[in-house]
Amino acid sequence: MTNYQEERMKQLFGGLPQNRGVDWDAVTPVIDFQFSKHADPVRARRQNIKRAMKTLKPVKRWTGVFGYKYNSQPMQCVVTGVDCSQQDYGDLRKEFLLDHRGRERAFTPWTGVLPQRGRPMIGTYCPQALQLYKLLMEWLEQEERENERGFFKQMRKKGVSFIPIKKPAPKQQTPLSSKWAEAFIEAEKDGIPVIRPRDHLGRNKTAILVFDYDYINGTDTNGRPFGHPDTIADYYAQEKEQEQMFNEAFDTAMREAYQ
């Protein structure tokens, strides 16, 4: 605010009947904001938002010239018109007038009060206007959170429902050595060779399973099963041998049964 405006403000304030004869050094604006007393907290908050928006609207020119009355000085309050360069902002200073590194930054009011609504202004807010602005932002945040809680109710009216899905807990991974240990044991039981070469330090860090498909499939190199007779004579000899083995096993079982 210019010196002329400060002096004019003091003159107007000192001209009141109750203030005559008193020498005033400065005049500080006091925003007498009337909080809603509605019993419903939601309606009370919405009334407070509406009143705060109206209070924080920048003052327009009284003449027919388009524009705003207090929009020419960087440190002039766009609501009250006072010079804010010597105002005490207290905790608001850190929140609105300093950046994350503690450096000075300018607070920019908007013609529509809310950020990005209307046009940015040159001036600023005095401490009381800035405190009301902070309350307005908190009320709007509460309003937004309640609107989010009502989202599912609105979707239900439209016939849209949401089903929560819980993902299964990830299975604990076991070392591969534990997983494949039984495979090597079974391979050795079946006669499948397991080669364990050692490195230059004598460490056994590699294991190789050697699969002979003829052995696994029970055939020799000619494609015949192991033990298959090559001639008719061999076939009859094998049949006789198997019959003899069966008879001996049967006799042994009968003797053990009647002893």
pLDDT digits (tens, 9 = 90+) for 23-38: 555 566 778 888 999 9
Whether 236 maps to a domain, the answer reads: yes
Q: Is the pLDDT of residue 218 over 80?
A: no
The pTM score is 0.51
pLDDT of residue 254: 67
Residue finishing a domain among 103, 127, 150: 150
Residues 254 and 204 in one domain: yes
Q: Is the pLDDT of residue 1 over 50?
A: no
Residues 28 and 115 in one domain: yes
Whether 161 maps to a domain, the answer reads: no
| Overall residue count recorded for the chain in this entry | 259
Residues 121 and 215 in one domain: no
CB 122 within 8 A of CB 109: no
pLDDT digits (tens, 9 = 90+) for 79-132: 988 888 888 888 898 889 888 888 888 899 999 999 989 999 999 999 999 999
CB 242 within 8 A of CB 236: no
140 band by pLDDT with thresholds 50, 70 and 90: very high
CB 234 within 8 A of CB 242: no
Mean pLDDT, to the nearest integer, of 175-202?
78
Burial 202-222 (b: 16+ CB within 10 A, else e): eeeeeeeeeeeeeeeeeeeee
**Residue ranges of E strands in the chain:** 194-195, 208-209
Residues 232 and 137 in one domain: no
Residue finishing a domain among 126, 150, 174: 150
Residues 146 and 244 in one domain: no
Whether 165 maps to a domain, the answer reads: no
Residues 72 and 192 in one domain: no
Q: Is the pLDDT of residue 7 over 50?
A: yes
Cα 97 from Cα 240, distance rounded (Å):
108
Q: How many domains does the chain have?
A: 2
Residues 125 and 13 in one domain: yes
Reading the block at residue 199, the tokens are 């490195």
Per 3-state DSSP, what percentage of the chain is helix, strand, and coil (rounded to 5)?
A: 45, 5, 50
Where does residue 213 fall: left (phi above 0), alpha (psi -120 to 50 degrees), or beta otherwise?
Answer: alpha
Using DSSP, state whether 233 is helix, strand or coil.
helix
Residues 194 and 141 in one domain: no
- Highest average pLDDT, of 68-77, 128-137, 189-198, comes from 128-137
Whether 45 maps to a domain, the answer reads: yes
Residues 190 and 144 in one domain: no
Whether 74 maps to a domain, the answer reads: yes
Residues 70 and 141 in one domain: yes
Residue ranges making up the domain that contains 195: 182-258
Residue finishing a domain among 101, 126, 150: 150
Q: What is the greatest pairwise CA distance in the chain? A: 145
Tell me the residue type at 5.
Answer: Q
Whether 162 maps to a domain, the answer reads: no
Of residues 169 and 41, more confidently modeled: 41
Residues 50 and 126 in one domain: yes
For tokens 């766009």, name the residue.
Answer: 78
Q: Cα-flanking dihedrals φ and ψ of residue 76, to 5°?
A: -105, 130
SS (H, E, C) 140-190: HHHHHHHHHHCHHHHHHHCCCCCCCCCCCCCCCCCCHHHHHHHHHHHHHHC
Whether 156 maps to a domain, the answer reads: no
Whether 109 maps to a domain, the answer reads: yes
CB 68 within 8 A of CB 78: yes
Residues 246 and 121 in one domain: no
